[in-house]
Amino acid sequence: MARKKRGEPIHGWLNIDKPAGMSSAAVVGAVKRITNAQKAGHAGTLDPFATGVLPIALGEATKTVSYIVDDLKEYSFTTRWGEARNTDDIEGEVTKTSETRPNEAQIISALPKFTGLVRQIPPVYSAIKIDGKRAYKLAREGADIVMPEREITIHKFSFENILDIDHASFHVKCSKGTYIRALARDFALELGTYAHLSQLRRTKVGPFLEKSAISLDMLEKLWQCPAEFEDLLPLTTALDDIPAVAITETQADRVRHGNDVAVPNTVDGIVCAMNEDIPVSIARVENGILYPVRVFNI
């Protein structure tokens, strides 16, 4: 006999404004405690010192997390010129210094080199696995680590303002896998100096926007009346770019049991099978036949 799951069967997405000083996993734990959801997960880690948009999936929405992780992301960040740190952010130890401070013209002229396809070496203090172990754990142990270079896409890199002689602010729109800490580090090297991040805020992840994100404190306050809570987004929020295919109740029952169904005149590809307004499954259509890939238990 299957053991009954603890918590409530809540399915959907929350757009949380992550506070500084809290890990993404800790935010998930807080959301799960507040909502009493059976299951929860986040779509894209934010460093503890960073703030901003952290999409949290509840219940069956966790099956759609990969679609948000693959979406474009946007960040606002501030660099602190003249200091390299071992973590490439404000929380690390200073390893190198420079008296060079770039001016506005120099900053603007260097931006195009960091737009489009860019080769990037992730920070040593990252969650990337090296020989099965997290890089940051190896770094803390004093291991000599060679991080693998990767190709990322910077869709837009904008200079915002010189805040003072040591600080400048930027905005970037980028692909998954981009480390803003590494971008700031490499950009400074191009300008003949060193830098680390002194501030990082994520402003957009796919359909999740900064202006609609809510704090944990606000979530706890509003969740006191779950029936009136309007910030729980539907499970299908993550599937906006996937075509929806309508199926009947009888077909939905077959799909939920792992069986394929006929959907004539449907274009091949990945779809979301819907019965009325209820998502049934992420599915694959081939030659008019719909094959379930991830079934939603709703």
| Alpha carbon distance 149, 259 (integer Å) | 42
Residue 18's SS3 state is strand
| Alpha helices by DSSP H, the chain | 24-35, 65-69, 104-110, 135-140, 180-190, 216-222, 249-256
* Residue 34, both tokens: 């507040």
131 included as an active-site residue: no
Which of 17, 47, 71, 186 is an active site residue?
Answer: 47
Cβ atoms of 270 and 230 within 8 Å: the answer is no
Largest CA distance in the chain: 71
Collect contacts of 40-48 with beta carbons under 8 A, ≥24 apart. 41/65, 43/68, 43/69, 43/205, 43/238, 44/68, 44/69, 44/73, 44/176, 44/205, 45/127, 46/18, 46/200, 46/202, 47/89, 47/181, 47/200, 48/20, 48/21, 48/22, 48/23, 48/91
The strand ranges marked E within 146-191 are 150-164, 167-174
* Residue 46, both tokens: 């934010």
| Alpha carbon distance 263, 287 (integer Å) | 9
For residue 14, the number of C-alpha atoms closer than 13 Å in the C-beta half-sphere is: 29
Which residues carry out catalysis?
Answer: 47
